Amino acid sequence: MEAEPLKININVTRLSSEISNLLVISNYDCLIYRSMSTIFIVSAIIFFILNIRFLVIDRRRLNPFALNLIINALISISFTLPYIAIQAIHCHPIQEYIVCHLQAFICFTCGICVMYTVSLLAVVQYIRLFYNSSILHKIFEHKNNFLIPAVCWLISLMWSFPPFINIKPGFKREGKGFDCGINWGVNDLRSCLYILLVFLFIYFLPLFCLIYTNMRILKTIRKLIYRRNSLRPKATVDIIPRDSRHHFINVFTVAESNRLKRLRIDRKFAQAVMITVIHYLLAWTPYATCAIIQLATAMTYIQYQVPPMLIAGSALLAKMAIMGQSCVYFYTVRSFSR
């Protein structure tokens, strides 16, 4: 009785597409990538030291959201730094598909979690100022409440896990193979729907939360601080005896001073979050723009290819945003709370 031959199913189309994406890397491409990687590696080391310092020294400033930013930064640095460093040394993409696949999954998950965490920081400040007696305020203000960051991680995994298990659109190599990310260049209905939802709920929704909440906060604080209405009507002063007027004015002066001090602190915090908005735009918009262009060219007959090294550079910038978001947060809070 003859034994049946062993059958091995290999996705030749997938392998060939992966190999075709590994274009010939010129000396010019190598120089550009090594330059960008050097900046990335130096920044990653600095961010790693600063995040460890935040954990050790700035414990009193740690809340669940800040701690979540630090955890995302450390995870991203631990997996991305060796990956980028090896490629920069050899000036050639790592060939193992599973390594690229895992790196894309980790970066995508951490990136989503950071975006949601940053937007929730603005929402918390908004609720603290406008709805300070609500249940949501009590939930957010609880120092040991890690439920919200856990929900951020859960939602992030819901977005990143389907591509990780090769559900369309999946992950693929990009930027001459130096990076892996979502396959933006697909044109089937399910993949296009997923990508459109990604842009809507991962990029634009957090951006809308950041801009809307901070604009409302700044507008309200400016109105309260600079209003010129008198604290007390003249009739009140006339009723108060002459001997008690001096004490009455001192009490109201101290109360008004404390009120203005609190409002100025809120305004400074809102300004700090506005810096976070600018950081958000500068960090994520280049990669999002490259992705939108790839999606548009895949869905239409426009023949245009985004420069591969531009994709690689924007991907490195997005990774740096994940690692440095906690540093931006602590810097702004420390600077504007003085």
Residues 154-182 as b/e (b if ≥16 CB within 10 A, e otherwise) read: eebeebbeebbeeebbbbbbbbbbbbbbb
> What pLDDT score does 217 carry?
80
Distance CA 53, CA 45 (A): 12
Half-sphere exposure of 100 (CA within 13 A, CB side): 23
Distance CA 251, CA 257 (A): 10
> What pLDDT score does 175 carry?
84
- The secondary structure of the chain, three-state, reads CCCCCCCCCCCHHHHHHHHHHCCCCCHHHHHHHHHHHHHHHHHHHHHHHHHHHHHHCCHHHCCHHHHHHHHHHHHHHHHHHHHHHHHHHHCCCCCCHHHHHHHHHHHHHHHHHHHHHHHHHHHHHHHHHHCCCCHHHHHHHCCCCCHHHHHHHHHHHHHHHHHHCCCCCCEEEECCCCEEEECCCCCCHHHHHHHHHHHHHHHHHHHHHHHHHHHHHHHHHHHHHCCCCCCCCHHHHHHCCHHHHHHHHHHHHHHHHHHHHHHHHHHHHHHHHHHHHHHHHHHHHHHHHHHHHHHHHHHCCCCCCCCHHHHHHHHHHHHHHHHHHHHHHHHHHHHHCC
Distance CA 207, CA 200 (A): 10
Residue 172, beta-bridge partner list = 181
Whole-prediction pTM: 0.80
> What pLDDT score does 140 carry?
66
Maximum C-alpha span of the chain: 117
The closest of 45, 37, 43 to 94, measured between CA atoms, is: 37
> What pLDDT score does 10 carry?
36
C-alpha dist (Å) from residue 282 to 43, 90, 288: 16, 29, 11
> What pLDDT score does 154 carry?
95
Quick one: CATH architecture of 22-228+260-336? Up-down Bundle (1.20)
Cα 282 to chain centroid, rounded? 11
The closest of 274, 297, 306 to 207, measured between CA atoms, is: 274
Domain residue limits, the chain: 22-228+260-336
> What pLDDT score does 276 carry?
78
Distance CA 37, CA 60 (A): 34
Give residue 242's region: left, alpha or beta (phi > 0; psi -120 to 50).
Answer: alpha
pLDDT in tens, the chain (338 residues): 444 443 433 343 444 444 444 457 888 889 999 999 999 999 999 999 999 988 888 777 678 888 999 999 999 999 999 999 999 998 888 878 888 889 999 999 999 999 999 998 888 888 887 777 667 666 666 655 788 889 999 999 999 999 999 888 889 888 888 889 999 888 788 888 999 999 999 999 999 998 898 888 877 777 766 654 444 444 444 554 555 545 545 555 656 666 666 666 666 766 776 787 888 889 999 999 999 888 888 777 677 788 888 999 999 999 999 999 988 888 877 766 56
